[in-house]
Structure 1
Amino acid sequence: MKRIFSSFVRRPVSWRSRAALLVTATLIPASMVSAAPPSPLYGLAWEETFSGTSVDTTRWNFRTDVKALSAQLAANATIANSQLSLLMKQEAVSGKQYTGAGVISKQLFGYGYYEVQARTTTNQGWHNSFWMMAGNGSDTFAAGRYLEIDQSEIDTQSPSSVPSGLQIWNGQAGSGANIGGPRCATYSPGFSTTGALHTYGADWREGAVDFYLDGVKYCTVAYSTTTYRQDPVNIWLTALAYKTPVTVGGTPQIYDTVRFYKRDQYVMNGRYGYSESGSGWLNSTLTGFGLLPQRYSCTAGATATFAPGFNQSGNYRVYIWKLVNPNADTQAEIAVHAPAGTTTTYVNFTSGTSGWVDLGQYNFNTGSTNPAASVTNTVHAGCQRSGAVKFVRVA
């Protein structure tokens, strides 16, 4: 399967043009399918072009649940013309009279810009979505989900309307675990989404999610880091029967190239890029950035390393999350390892307020996770909690 990670042919809407696009949204042609991430500081981190002969099961799970008016079948997710085609059929399966389909990325993603090119099916009664939530497709009410980003939930009776927004869950199994749903006003782009490919984008950043269609930002929804957990999500591309009358035999639901861009690098304990050395590391009952669980050690010399593996070279502002606690280390040794050398800062975690501590600006190069491009937190005295480090790209 062909995948492009550094260069590709596109007709981008430049970041400098975004302000004009926001003012002149009605002038955007319906045929435009190429867009761009919110600024040139974003770099491509992951891409799927669907150029094989079948869904790559090393990268994707199939949606296989039974929900609303259809059962979802792996056989209905096909590849044609370098596009994912989700087929919709009238057939009796698992007590339903229709079958739909979907694929879910095996990889988890965090803050960044999510994008897909899609064309809505002409079949009636279907619910077609580009969305992000933790899960593998076997059950949309599984445990472990906290954030659901619904970039577009298009009901095919209204193909000129694009509902978007968030659903917030408490991580427990079951359909009753929803604790909120801040939504956008339904966006009306002025054209039918069945007529051509269009580019749907969602930028999840610290504190909010921005929604885009063909390069135009049409909504921002807050997602507080002090109120809600900031757990990673999978990418979902789906179609299910939802509302009568339901028809089949029209055009399939098409999803074209999927991309994920990152500007900043966040490493949190227990996630990719995080490692520990030394003894005494335990799970803490306290939460840190984004209400995520913490790890701690009271053993002098124990270290926690945050090494993101940069998808693009550049200058980054580096911060560590400080969780204030009376039994914490008064002289925690925080070392930033950059190509130009190592810079050490000593932070008192017993005083002040909890929050991000600025460790300075550094240049990092593209590369895999390794301690040579990282932040280490070394315990000297007390019990040091290890939570999160962020690398914010500034140039």
Structure 2
Amino acid sequence: MNSIFASRARRTLRPVLALGAVAAAIAPAGALADPPSTLYGLAWEETFSGTSVDTSRWNFRTDVKALSAQLAANAVIDNGQLSLLMKQESVSGKAYTGAGVISKQQFGYGYYEVRAKNTTNTGWHNSFWMMAGDGSDTFAAGRYLEIDQAEIDTADQTHVPSGLQIWNGQAGSGANIGGPRCATYAPGVNLTAAYHTYGADWREGAVDFYLDGTKYCTVAYSTTQYRQDPVNIWLTAIAYRAPVSVGGTPQYYDTVRFYKRDQYVMNGRYGYSESGTGWLDSTLAGFGLMPQRYSCTAGAKAIFAPGFNQSGDYHVYIWKTVNANADTQAEVRVQAASGNTTTTINFTTGTSGWVDLGTHSFNAGTTNPAIGVTNTVHTGCQRAGAVKFVRV
């Protein structure tokens, strides 16, 4: 899954659940890199093919930060690319204006990728990054993980700073609790001269960083130490450090993609649902320190049905939170294209962690709530934390 792969021509894409419109304009020359392995399938794409930013899919960055105010008017579509304009104008007490867009959809584990060509203007901070938020403020409540795939200071167009910032989810700039970073990568080229493909693969326990198909860094992101909340995709340009210049080429972003290999379903996310009565919020955290739900009502069900972006075999696991009042006879049913199986699990014994439910085949696009895993309460209190489907 994590092998280094050479930059290759774009493959024929598999069917996906949610795609951007087909490009109407000819995209700039150069191919996207493949994801880390053939087990990854395309799950989301934006080609910026319209005449303006699609506001059903993107928010604008509108904060005031560093040396610029960010304006929606500065994010435009130019020949099938997102063009972020940089201007010298007085707005909200700043001498410059920048821009950015933030995906309305949130994403979890998977491979994030964009093609970009850097501005020739100096003094700007251009970034492809992932963090929870809507663009109105970079210090909003609810952010835990910040994946900085590329934070490029345009005074130096030959290096790619990357890494993580870790937050405690509270509002305010003082909530940072860590920042493991990569050694600044020097690809040996000037990033303004051509398009390059930037990628980040967030997987359970770590994030891998890529440029043009070459993995250059891995940073750990512990599931037992930090929350695994979903993130939004940010494409931004702000004035950052004097001297600042304008009048050169804009910051271009072209074709954003998100690939998934595995499917994770947790309480409160897409694919999770409940039936029966007695469901309440649990005080015990589950996988990735994520909140859980519980019910002590016999027959109540927690359902984990992700809707698969690609057909294939998946190794299935359910998260077990051990507790003295837990269900001693929890019925865990896997319903798949390959058949149905039922496992009885005692959640009062052993240690908390993933329980192996075997390998099963699933078909792409199955959104029937029965397709996936159903956890039924029998006796005691059952905590619904997470189920993962690992592509094999």
- Deviation, 1:373, is 1.5
Q: Counterpart of 1:245 in structure 2: which amino acid? A: P
User: Equivalent residue for 2:227?
Assistant: 229
- Within the candidate set 103, 113, 116, 1:115 is matched to 113
Question: 1:63 — aligned with what?
Answer: 61
For residue 3 of structure 2, what is the aligned residue in structure 1?
A: none
Partner residue of 2:332?
A: 334
Q: Give unmatched runs, 5+ long, in structure 2.
A: 1-7, 13-28
Instruction: For residue 290 of structure 1, give the secondary structure of its aligned residue in structure 2.
Output: helix
In the superposition, the TM-score normalised over structure 2's length comes to 0.93
Other-structure match for 1:132: 130
Q: CA deviation at 1:32?
A: 5.7
Q: Which residue of 2 aligns with 1:105?
A: 103
Q: Using the TM superposition, give the Cα deviation of residue 34 of structure 1 relative to its aligned residue in structure 2, in angstroms.
A: 2.4
> RMSD over aligned Cα, in angstroms?
1.2
Q: Number of paired residues? A: 369
Distance of 2:11 and 2:171 partners within structure 1: 41
Q: Which runs of 4+ in 1 moved over 3 A?
A: none
Q: 1:147-166 alignment to 2 at 5 Å? A: 147-166=145-164
* Residue of structure 1 equivalent to 2:25: none
For the residues of structure 1 that align with 2:301 and 2:101, how far apart are their CA atoms? 39
Residue equivalent to 1:190: 188
Cα distance per residue 1:25-46 (max 9 Å; x no partner): xxxxxx9652110000000000
Does residue 1:214 correspond to 2:212, yes or no? Answer: yes
Q: Residue 246 of structure 2 aligns to which amino acid in structure 1?
A: V
One-letter amino acid of the structure 2 residue matched with residue 222 of structure 1: A
SS of residue matched to 1:321: strand
Counterpart residue identity of residue 363, structure 2: N
Q: Give distance in 1, aligned partners of 2:376 and 2:69.
A: 52
In structure 1, distance between residues paired with 2:367 and 2:283: 28
Task: Give the drift of 1:11.
Answer: 1.4
Q: In structure 1, how many angstroms separate the alpha carbons of the residues matched to 2:101 and 2:310?
A: 28
1:307 partner letter: A
User: Does structure 2 retain, via aligned residues, the 8 Å contact 1:117–1:198?
Assistant: yes
- Residue identity (%): 81
Q: Distance in 2 between matches of 1:83 and 1:267?
A: 33
Equivalence for 1:288: 286
- Would you say 1:72 and 2:81 are equivalent positions? no
CA distance in 1, matches of 2:167, 2:294: 27
Q: For residues 356 and 30 of structure 2, what CA distance do their matches in structure 1 show? A: 41
Preserved contact between residue 33 and residue 214 of structure 1 (Cα < 8 Å): no
* Displacement after TM superposition at 1:366 (Å): 0.4
**How far is 1:369 from its partner?**
2.1
Unmatched runs of 5 consecutive residues or more in structure 1? 1-9, 15-30
Tell me the CA shift for residue 339 of structure 1: 1.7
Find the aligned partners of 1:88 and 1:368 in 2 and give their Cα distance: 44
Out of 73, 85, 88, the residue aligned to residue 87 of structure 1 is 85
3-state secondary structure, aligned to 1:91: strand
Q: d(CA) in 1 for partners of 2:94 and 2:11?
A: 43
Counterpart-to-counterpart distance in 2, 1:348 and 1:76: 57
1:232-261: CA deviation from partner (whole Å, max 9, x where unpaired): 000000000000000000000000000000
Note if contact 2:10-2:31 (Cα within 8 Å) is conserved in structure 1.
Answer: no
How far residue 368 of structure 1 moved from its aligned partner, in angstroms, is 4.1
Q: TM-score, normalization: structure 1?
A: 0.92
Secondary structure of the corresponding residue to residue 285 of structure 1: coil
Amino acid of the residue matched to residue 60 of structure 2? F
Identify the match of residue 265 of structure 1 among 256, 263, 266.
263
> Mean alpha-carbon deviation: is it higher for 298-307 or for 33-42?
33-42
